[in-house]
């Protein structure tokens, strides 16, 4: 009995329990914590990164096609990792709220598929692997740029407790790949801060647009939870007008960044096509219908992919002509 009550023995057995190999149920839970069954999160992290690679490829003829393709492929696992890390910590810190919301009550932690302690172990493992991978494959400049938003990985999941403006830090950390990718691929060491800042701020406005509408899926549950904050609760009936402004701001800043970078016709056509999908879909979305809010959110990757296609075609045409 004395041995069992010894604090060191108790600590040993608790640590041993935490470090046991995962069960099949926990593996499935970790898969869900990372949102690997739903990869919209990957696209909204990766696409702005790929935009920057295509922009640099257009602006700097000394960048080889092979190097641009190599970097675009290299950022795929990195962006999956960033997205997975953020989704995991978001679920851990949102655990007290998720069980009270219809849409999220069946996530791994609320339904008991994994304990909070084991989820923290999984998050720690992801963080260690992620930092090691980033330090091995990123240039020092790109790594330093990424470090600027690292604190937001922890701050963002706490936002529901103290601010209605969570999409802003989400956009700031999700779109930082714009600066990272250019830092990685640039051949002469120069970073056009004016160009990239326009695209970056535009991408943040894009995040505010789709994330605010997305949050309306939970508004009926959110109003019942003490201390809950969200952009949907803040804007309510003003959501569509405000998000229309942020959507136009996104397209305008993106076009301005493209103009500063010397983009051509293909790019502007892609921005126009993306706008013709984004704005009409937004304007006809009924924010009181969770299904319509979700449908609008699901168009997000398509908007970004169309813009990426414009950047790529523009760069290829430019190289052929010049």
**Domains of the chain, with CATH numbers?**
21-321 (1.10.357.140)
87, with CB counted inside 10 A (0-12, 13-18, 19+), is buried
Pairwise CA distance, residues 109 & 7, whole Å: 28
pLDDT in tens, 71-92: 999 999 999 999 999 999 999 9
Structure tokens at 213: 């509408």
For 260, list phi and psi in degrees, rounded to 5.
-65, -25
Q: What's the confidence (pLDDT) of residue 5?
A: 54
Query: Is the pLDDT score of 247 beyond 60?
Result: yes
Q: What's the confidence (pLDDT) of residue 153?
A: 86
Tell me, what DSSP letter sits at residue 1? -
Q: What's the confidence (pLDDT) of residue 18?
A: 66
In sequence order, the 6+-apart residues with CB closer than 8 A to the CB of 233 are 164, 219, 222, 223
Pairwise CA distance, residues 37 & 292, whole Å: 21
Find, among 176, 247, 254, 174, the residue nearest to 209 by Cα. Answer: 247
More confident site: 135 or 45: 45
Query: Is the pLDDT score of 294 beyond 80?
Result: yes
* pTM for the structure as a whole: 0.91
Query: Is the pLDDT score of 270 beyond 90?
Result: yes
Listed range (51-55, 98-102, 214-218, 314-318) with the worst mean pLDDT? 98-102
């Amino acid at each position: 009995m004395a041995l069992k009550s010894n604090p060191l023995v108790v600590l040993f057995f608790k640590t041993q329990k935490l470090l046991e190999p995962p069960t099949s149920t926990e593996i499935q839970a970790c898969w869900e914590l990372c949102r690997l069954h739903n990869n919209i999160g990957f696209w909204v992290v990766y696409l702005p990164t790929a935009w920057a690679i295509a922009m640099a490829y257009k602006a700097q003829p000394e960048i080889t096609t092979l190097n641009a393709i190599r970097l675009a492929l290299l950022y795929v696992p990195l962006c999956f990792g960033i997205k997975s890390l953020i989704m995991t910590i978001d679920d851990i810190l949102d655990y007290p709220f998720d069980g009270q919301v219809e849409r999220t009550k069946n996530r791994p932690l609320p339904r008991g598929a994994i304990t909070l302690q084991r989820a923290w172990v999984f998050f720690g493992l992801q963080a260690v692997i992620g930092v090691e991978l980033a330090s091995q494959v990123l240039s020092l400049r790109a790594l330093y740029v990424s470090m600027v938003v690292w604190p937001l990985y922890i701050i963002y999941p706490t936002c529901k407790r103290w601010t209605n403006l969570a999409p802003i830090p989400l956009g700031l950390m999700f779109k930082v790949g714009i600066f990272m990718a250019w830092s990685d691929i640039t051949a002469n060491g120069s970073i056009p801060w004016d160009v990239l800042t326009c695209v970056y701020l535009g991408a943040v406005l894009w995040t505010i647009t789709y994330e605010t509408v997305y949050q309306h899926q939970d508004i009926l549950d959110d109003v019942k939870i003490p201390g809950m904050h969200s952009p949907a609760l803040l804007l309510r009936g003003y959501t569509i007008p405000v998000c229309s402004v942020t959507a136009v701001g996104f397209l305008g800043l993106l076009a301005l960044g493209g103009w500063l970078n010397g983009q051509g016709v293909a790019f502007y056509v892609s921005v126009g096509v993306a706008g013709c999908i984004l704005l009409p879909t937004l304007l006809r979305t009924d924010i009181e219908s969770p299904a319509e809010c979700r449908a609008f959110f699901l168009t997000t990757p398509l908007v970004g992919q169309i813009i990426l296609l414009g950047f790529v075609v523009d760069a290829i045409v430019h190289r052929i002509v010049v």
